[in-house]
Amino acid sequence: VSYDESCSKRQRLLVVANRLPVSAKRTGENSWSLEMSPGGLVSGLLGVAAEFETKWVGWPGVDVYDVVGKNALSKSLADMKCIPVFLEEVFDQYYNGYCNGILWPILHHMGLPQEDHNDTNKTYQTQYDAYKKANRKFLDVIIENYEEGDIVWIHDYHLLFLPQYLKEYNNKIKIGWFLHSPFPSSEVFKTLPSRSELLRSVLTADLLGFHTYDFASHFVRTCTRILGVEGTHEGIVDHGKVTRVAVFPIGIDPNRFLKACELPEVRQQMTELKERFAGKKVILGVDRLDMIKGIPQKFLGFEKFLEENMDWRDKVVLVQIAVPTRNNVPEYQKLKSQVHGLAGRINGRFGSVSSLPIHHLDCSVDLNFLCALYAIADVMLVTSLRDGMNLVSYEFIACQEAKKGVLVLSEFAGAAQSLGAGAILVNPWDVTEVSSAIKEALNMPAEERDERHRLNFQYVKTHSAKKWGDDFISELHDTLTESDMKIKK
C-alpha cells in the first residue's frame, strides 16, 4: 500500500516543537486563557496540523509549578490536541541561555557571544547542561504519549538532542527533524563548544529537512568537516548508515489570509486605515523584535530615503509592528532601546506636529488587523540580516490580491530563493541600496506591480504549508521504506 493510499489523510503525527501553537496566561487558580503563539514555525505548522492526526508537544509559553495549575492547563490544552512540557527550573538556562543566547546567534551567522565567567549560571557548560535536561523533559512527555506507528516530527534548534534520546529509548520510532532557521557555514558552526555531540544526535533522525539548498549543503559540509563523515547527494553516510538530508521550503495556509481579507470586520479596518493614511503611501514592516530581522538597518535605509527624496517626506509613512520576543535575553533588551532611539531620531528629523514618518509599535496585533494592514500597504519592507524563511513576506502577498503592492525583500531571507522573481531583492546592510529599493517600489508602474505580484501569488498559493507537510512526511515514508528494503536484502 503506497503512502498516498494509506497515510496521506490520517497519518498520526506527534509534532514536537519548543513552543506550542498557543501560549497560556493564567487568569485564576484554575483558569487559563490561550492565545496564538508568534513566529514562522507556528504559522507554518498550523497549515499542516489539520491534514494529519496531529498532537502537539511543547512548552505552553509559561511555567507552572503547582499541581492544580498544571492539571487545569493540561486540560484546556488537551481540547486543542496540545500536550504541555513544563520546563520549570531549567527554563531560563535552556531557553534564554543556550537556545536563544548561544544557538540562535550561531545559526544566524552572528558568532558566539562572550561567555560570562562571573556568573556560574551563565557559562556555556551550565547552559548546555540545562539544554540537555530540557530535551530529556521533552523525551519524558513523548514517551508518555507515543503510540506505535506515530511519526515524531521534531522542529528546530531547541531540540537537537531529542532524536538521539528517542532512538536510545526505541530505535524503531520514526523521526523527522526540520530546522526552521538557517544553518551557517561550517566555519561559524565550528566555534560552538560541543558541536560534535549536537551534530551526532541530529544524525540519528531518519530525515533532516531544511528550507533552502544553501542551508542543507552548509549542514552536510559541516558534518563532513567536523565529524569526518561522508556527504553524498542523498545525505550523510556514517559507517553504512545513511541520514537523508533534503530541502522543503515551508509555506503558509494562503486561504486563511484570503478568507480573513473578505471578513466585514477586516474590510471595515481597511477602510479606517485608508482614511487614517489618506494621501500617503504606506510602507509596512512586521517583525519579531529580533536582531536577525534588521529593524535598525530598515530604519537607516528609510532615513536615507527621506534624506535623499525631499518630495516624498510628507507622502510616505513607515508602519513598523515589532512583536516583543525573548525579553529576558540581554541582546534583545539592547536592541529595543536601539530601535526606539533610531525611530525617535528619524521622527525628530523629518516629522512635523501633524505627521510622523515612522509609526513604531512594540506589540503583536491580531490576525484580522494584521490582514487589514497587509492589504492596505503599498510596500512591504523585509530587511532580515539572516532569516530561515520569513513567512511575513508570504502573508503580505496573500493579502495583496486587490492592491498588488511591492515586496522589498532581503537577499538573506530564505524567502529570497522562492520570491526573488517578484520581489525587489536588497542587501539590508547597504543603506543606499535599501533607499533606492524603497524609491523603486513606490514609483513602480502598475503593470510591473501586477506582473511581480502574479508571480509571487502563484508561488505562495502552490507552495503552501500543506504541501510542505505532505512533502516532508511523504519523503520520510520513502526513506523508511528504502531502508527497510536494504535491511531485508
What is the number of other CB atoms lying within 10 angstroms of the CB of residue 312? 18
Q: Which stretch binds ligand G6P (CB under 6 A): 36-44, 163-171, 185-193, 220-228?
A: 36-44
Which parts of 170-225 are beta strand (E)?
174-178, 207-210
Q: Which is nearer to ligand G6P, 40 or 69 (CB)?
A: 40
For cell 507556528, the residue is 42
19 vs 281, which CB is nearer to ligand G6P? 19
State the minimum distance, in angstroms, from the CB of residue 38 to ligand G6P: 5
Instruction: Kindly tell me the burial class for residue 53, based on how many C-beta atoms sit within 10 Å of its own C-beta (0-12, 13-18, 19 or more).
Output: middle
Q: DSSP letter at 39?
A: S
- CA distances from residue 166 to 12, 127, 151 in whole angstroms, order as listed: 17, 21, 12
The Cα 369–Cα 347 span in angstroms is 24
Amino acid (one-letter) located at 225? R
Give the contact letters, 353-392, x = binds to ligand G6P (CB under 6 A), - = no.
-----------------------------------x----
Per-residue contact string for residues 41-60; x = within reach of ligand G6P by CB under 6 A: x-------------------
Candidates 334, 342, 302, 320; CA nearest to 439 is: 302
Q: Residue 38 or residue 420: which is nearer to ligand G6P going by CB?
A: 38
Q: Dihedral of CA 437/442/443/447: which sign?
A: positive
Interaction between residue 325 and ligand G6P (CB under 6 A): yes
Dihedral sign of CA atoms 156, 42, 33, 369 in order: positive
| Closest approach of ligand G6P to the CB of residue 325, in Å | 5
Tell me how far, at minimum, the Cβ of 374 lies from ligand G6P, in Å: 18
- Interface with ligand G6P, residue 249, by CB under 6 A: no
Least separation in angstroms between CB 317 and ligand G6P: 27
223 contacts: CB under 8 Å, gap ≥ 6 = 199, 203, 229, 231, 236
Binding mask 252-281 for ligand G6P (x = CB under 6 A): ------------------------------
- According to the binding rule CB under 6 A, does residue 39 interact with ligand G6P? yes
Cα–Cα distance list, 259 to 263, 267, 364, 399, 463 (Å):
7, 11, 21, 9, 18
Backbone angles phi, psi at 233, to 5 degrees: -70, -20
Side chain identity at 255, as an amino acid letter?
N
Q: Which of 108, 109, 244, 326 binds ligand G6P (CB under 6 A)?
A: 326
Q: Judged by CB under 6 A, does residue 294 bind ligand G6P?
A: no
User: Is 19 near ligand G6P (CB under 6 A)?
Assistant: yes
Residue 25: CB minimum distance to ligand G6P, A: 14
Residue 263 CB, shortest distance to ligand G6P, in Å, is: 26
Check binding of 38 to ligand G6P (CB under 6 A).
yes
Residue 156, interface with ligand G6P (CB under 6 A)?
A: yes
Q: Which amino acid, 467?
A: K
Q: Which is nearer to ligand G6P, 20 or 319 (CB)?
A: 20
Q: How far is the CB of 312 from ligand G6P (least distance, A)?
A: 33
In the bound complex, what is the minimum distance in angstroms from residue 57's beta carbon to ligand G6P?
14
Cα four-point dihedral sign 85, 89, 91, 94:
negative
Residues 179-198 that bind ligand G6P (CB under 6 A): 180-181
Do 171 and 33 touch, CB atoms closer than 8 A? no
Cell output for 366: 491580531
Binding window for ligand G6P (CB under 6 A); candidates: 32-40, 106-114, 269-277, 420-428: 32-40
Burial tier of 253 (Cβ tally within 10 Å: 0-12, 13-18, 19+) = buried
- If the CB atoms of residues 13 and 282 are measured against ligand G6P, the closer one turns out to be 13
| Cell of residue 341, nine digits | 532611539
Can residue 40 be called a binding residue for ligand G6P (CB under 6 A)?
yes
Q: DSSP state, 94?
A: I
Give the nearer residue to ligand G6P in terms of CB position, either 94 or 457.
94
> If you ran DSSP here, which 8-state letter would residue 387 be given?
B
Number of residues interacting with ligand G6P: please give it, by CB under 6 A.
Answer: 12
Q: Which residues of the chain form contacts with ligand G6P (CB under 6 A)?
A: 18-19, 38-41, 156, 180-181, 325-326, 388
